[in-house]
Structure 1
Amino acid sequence: MKIGILREGKTPPDKRVPFTPTQCELLKNTFEDLELVVQPSPIRCFSDDLYTQKGIVLQEDLSDCDVLFGVKEVPIKDLMADKHYFFFSHTHKFQEYNRPLLKAMLDNGLKMTDYECLTRKDGSRVLGFGRYAGIVGAYNGFRGLGIRLGRYELKPAHECDDFEELKEELKKVDLPNIKILLTGSGRVARGAEEILKLLELKELNVEEYLSQESFQEPVFCRADADSYVKHGQGKEFKFEDFFKNGGDYVSDFEKFYKSTDMFIAGHFWDQSSPVFFTQEDAKRDDFRIQFISDISCDIADPIPSTLRPSTIADPFYDYNPQTGSEESTFSSDKNISVMAVDNLPCELPKDASKDFGSHLVEEIVPLLFSNDADGIIERATITNGGKLTSNYSYLQDYVDAYKG
C-alpha cells in the first residue's frame, strides 16, 4: 500500500497535518508493506526538511498512491479519480457551500472517508480537533477579557510556538473576582477546562455557583444541558430523550445569564434544541454577561450575539444588545464582547496535529491493513465508485438537484 499526505490547498491556508514527521516514521516502521510519501508544502507547521530527516520521501505527483490523507476539503481541481481519500469534507449535513465538492467526489469515482464520521461501536467519534478548539477558544477569551478590562495583555495564540508557550502566557492573567460559566461535556469543553484549571480558578458546582452574586476570588462552573434546559411539560430531564427530541425542551438559562460575567460556550447544539437566550433577554437590565467566548460558533441561533464568525487575525467584536448590531471591539462597557473564531485549532497547529495524528496512527491506519471488522471506515465512507454509500443515500435527491 502506498499512502500520500496531501498538501493543504484550501484558502485561507491551514498549517495542520494528518501525520507529523515522527508519526510517519512510526507508520513506516510498523507496517513493512507500507510506502509513505509527502507532497511538498511551504506552509505546513512541520517543514519538508523535518519529513526528509525522518526518511520520508517528498513527492509532488501523488497519482500512484492508493490512499490520500489531508485535513480540510481538497479543492475540486486537485481531486484524482478513483482514489481513496480521507479528509474533512463537510458534506454529509447538506452543507450547501460544499455541494459542488460532493458532486465532484461522485463524478470522480472517489472512495471518500470523512474524519468527522469515523465512530467506534459505541457511537463515540474517533477523531477531532475539539480539544484544541477548546484550549485556544478559552485562551482567546481570557486574552480578549484582559484587553476589555485593561488589566493584562496576552500574546495571540497563533503567535505562540506551541501549547507550552501558551501556558507561559497564561501566567500574565490577572482576573477580578468574576464568575465564569463553561457549557458542554465533550472534547471542546474538556479542552477549555484545561485552561481554567491552568489558571488555578476555583471550580464550583451549579448549586454553589448560583448561590451567591460574587465570591472572594474568580470562580468557574461547568454546566451541562441538564442544568440549562428543562422539559417543556415539566417532565424529568433525560439526556437520551433531549438528544432525540430537543424540540420538547425549553431554555432554563436565565439563572445563568443573571449571574455570569464571562460565558465560554463549549457545548454541542442542534437546530431542534432551545436557544440559550434571545435578543430580548440580552436587553434586560439584569443580563450580566459581558464577554462570550463562543467556541461552538453557531451563527445567530442559540447565542444571538454571535452574529458572524471572527478570524484569527481579528478575533473579537462587540454586540450592542439594545440594537442587536455589531459595534467596534471593546467600544462600550454596555456591549457584549464576542470571540467567535471558527477555526481555532489552526492557532496551535503543531499540538493539534500531534493529537489528531496519534488517533489516526493508533485506530485508523491499522484498519487499512485488516478487514475492519467493526466497519469503522465503512460507516464513515460517504462516496465509493461514483455512488453514495448506503449510510449517506439520504443525500441523493440533494445531489440530483444540483444545477452547477
Structure 2
Amino acid sequence: MIKLGLIREGKVPADNRVALTPAQCKWIHRNASDVRVIAQSSPNRCFSDREYQMAGVDVQEDMSDCDILLGIKEVPVSQLIPGKTYLFFSHTRKKQSYNQHLFQSIIANRITLLDYECLEHEDGQRILGFGFFAGVVGAHNGMMSFGHRTGAYDLVRVYKQRSFRELIHTYFGLRIPPVKVVVTGSGRVAHGILEIMNLMGIVEVEPEDYLQKQYTYPVYTQLKGADLYAPKSGAAYNRVHFHDHPEEYNCKFLPYALQSDILMNGIYWDTAMPRLFEKEDLRHPAWRMHTIADITDDAFGSVPVNLGDQTIEDPIYGVSRSTFGKTAPFQENSVDIMAVGNLPNELPRDASRYFGEQLIKYVLEDLVKNNETAVLKRATMVEKGRLTERYDYLADYAAGK
C-alpha cells in the first residue's frame, strides 16, 4: 500500500490551493486499490477537512507514515520529514538565494525532491502549473486597476467570487472604453489573459495594425517571441537560439509602450534576458502606458518598475514617472503596477481542480509504481539527499557558495 500525503501549507502567508481535490482523492481510491490518500488537517485549504473526510480521505496531523508528500509552496525547513519523497514548487532551480537554506536542508535530510516546475514533456512543455488561472486573475485585476484610475467602469474582486463561472457572470453588460491593451507571452499565463480579453469583448488586432491605428472600440494585441526580440546581429529570430543565448538579443517592445494604455505581461524571464523597457523610459514624453499587470511577477525583471509583491487584498501600487519611487496608486504622474505572487489563490478551487487533473493524468501512476520514466527523472532534483546529474550545476548552491 502506497500512502500519498497532502501536507498542510506551512509558508506564510498560507497558500489555500491543493494538489488533489476531495473528488480526485475519491477517484484515486476507486481506481487504485493499492493507493491511499491522507490529508494533514488544515484550516486554510480551499477544501475543508470535512470535505476530504466526506470523500473517504483520512484527515490527521502526523504524516510520517506517508511514502510521498504533496504540497504546493515551499515546505518550511522545520516541517521537513527526513527520508521522504516530496513534490512541491521549491523555487530553487535558478539558485534563488531566499530558498538556499531549504535546498541544503533537503539534501541534509536525505530527501527526494521532485519539483513541479521541472515536470516537462519531451519537448520541454511544462506539465503542471497554475499559469492559466494566474493569467485570468491578473488580467482581471489589470483591467480593474485601469477602471479605478479612469473611473470608466468598476470591476468586482475575484477572490470574493466562488468560482470562475461566477466571475464570468460579472462581465455581462460591461462596457470597456476604446483602450489599447498589449499582451506579452504565449504560454499558460498568456492563454489565461486572452480568455479574459475575449470574455470582456476586447478585440484582437495584429501587432502591425496596433502600432499604426487608433480604434473606437477596445483592442488588444499579443506579442510572442519574434514580436518582442531581435538578434543584435541582424539575423532572424530563432526561439531555441534565443533561450540559449538571450544576451545576444535586443527587445523591440518600447514602441508598444508608447501606443498602449495597459500592459498584460505574461512572458517568462530570467536575468540574462533583455527587459521589455528600462525604467528611464517612463520619462519619455510620449509614454502612454499607465497600467501594468506584471502577471509573471519578477521583481525588477522584465518590468523594471516592478518594485515587489503586493497582497491579494491590496494588489496595486504606483511608481513615480520622475523618481521611480513607490507611490499610492492612481496618481497623475505615476504608473500603476499590479504585482502579486499568488494570483491563482483568488480562484483556488478551480485552479486546484485543473492542477490535480494534470497530476493524475501525467504523473501519479508512474510515481506510485516507482516507474523510472523520463518525465519523473527530469523532475527529480535531489534523490535521497544527492543532486541528480541534470541538476549538478546546483552543486555550489547546495554547498552554500
User: Partners in 2 of 1:301 and 1:386 — Cα distance?
Assistant: 32
State the 1:357 CA deviation: 0.5
User: Partners in 2 of 1:52 and 1:73 — Cα distance?
Assistant: 25
User: Partners in 2 of 1:235 and 1:186 — Cα distance?
Assistant: 25
2:113 maps to 112
Using structure 1 for the length normalisation, give the TM-score: 0.96
8 Å contact kept, 1:3–1:67: yes
Partner SS state of residue 85, structure 1: strand
Report the more deviating stretch, 298-307 or 236-245. 298-307
User: Partners in 2 of 1:66 and 1:301 — Cα distance?
Assistant: 38
- Residues 332-347 of structure 1 aligned to structure 2 (within 5 Å): 332=332, 334-347=333-346
State the 1:182 CA deviation: 0.3
Tell me, yes or no, if structure 1 residue 299 matches structure 2 residue 299.
yes
1:125 maps to 126
2:235 maps to 235
Q: Letter of the aligned partner of 2:392 in structure 1? A: S
8 Å contact kept, 1:318–1:337: yes
Partner SS state of residue 263, structure 2: strand
1:285 maps to 285
Partner SS state of residue 170, structure 2: helix
1:330 maps to 330
2:271 maps to 271
User: Identical aligned pairs, as a percentage?
Assistant: 38
Report the more deviating stretch, 148-157 or 288-297. 148-157
User: Partners in 2 of 1:146 and 1:349 — Cα distance?
Assistant: 25
User: Partners in 1 of 2:173 and 2:266 — Cα distance?
Assistant: 24
Cα deviation 1:322-379 (Å, max 9, x = unaligned):
11111111122x3211111111111111111001010011111111244535321121
State the 1:280 CA deviation: 2.2
1:65 maps to 66
Over 4 Å off, 4+ runs: none
8 Å contact kept, 2:181–2:220: yes
Q: Letter of the aligned partner of 2:396 in structure 1? A: D
Cα deviation 1:155-177 (Å, max 9, x = unaligned):
21111111112112233643211
State the 1:148 CA deviation: 0.7
For structure 1, list consecutive stretches of 5 or more residues without a partner in the other structure.
none
Using structure 2 for the length normalisation, give the TM-score: 0.96
State the 1:273 CA deviation: 1.7
8 Å contact kept, 2:181–2:264: yes
Cα deviation 1:12-62 (Å, max 9, x = unaligned):
011101000000001111111112211111111111111111111112111
User: Partners in 1 of 2:396 and 2:305 — Cα distance?
Assistant: 35
Partner SS state of residue 189, structure 1: helix
How many residue pairs get aligned? The number is: 400
8 Å contact kept, 2:270–2:301: no
Q: Letter of the aligned partner of 2:106 in structure 1? A: M
For structure 2, list consecutive stretches of 5 or more residues without a partner in the other structure.
none
8 Å contact kept, 2:366–2:373: no
State the 1:293 CA deviation: 0.6
User: Partners in 1 of 2:278 and 2:123 — Cα distance?
Assistant: 35
Partner SS state of residue 337, structure 1: strand
User: Partners in 2 of 1:77 and 1:132 — Cα distance?
Assistant: 30
User: Partners in 1 of 2:307 and 2:44 — Cα distance?
Assistant: 30
User: Partners in 1 of 2:370 and 2:78 — Cα distance?
Assistant: 32
Partner SS state of residue 148, structure 1: helix
1:260 maps to 260
The alignment's C-alpha RMSD in Å is 1.4
8 Å contact kept, 1:142–1:173: no
User: Partners in 1 of 2:4 and 2:195 — Cα distance?
Assistant: 35
Report the more deviating stretch, 124-133 or 251-260. 251-260
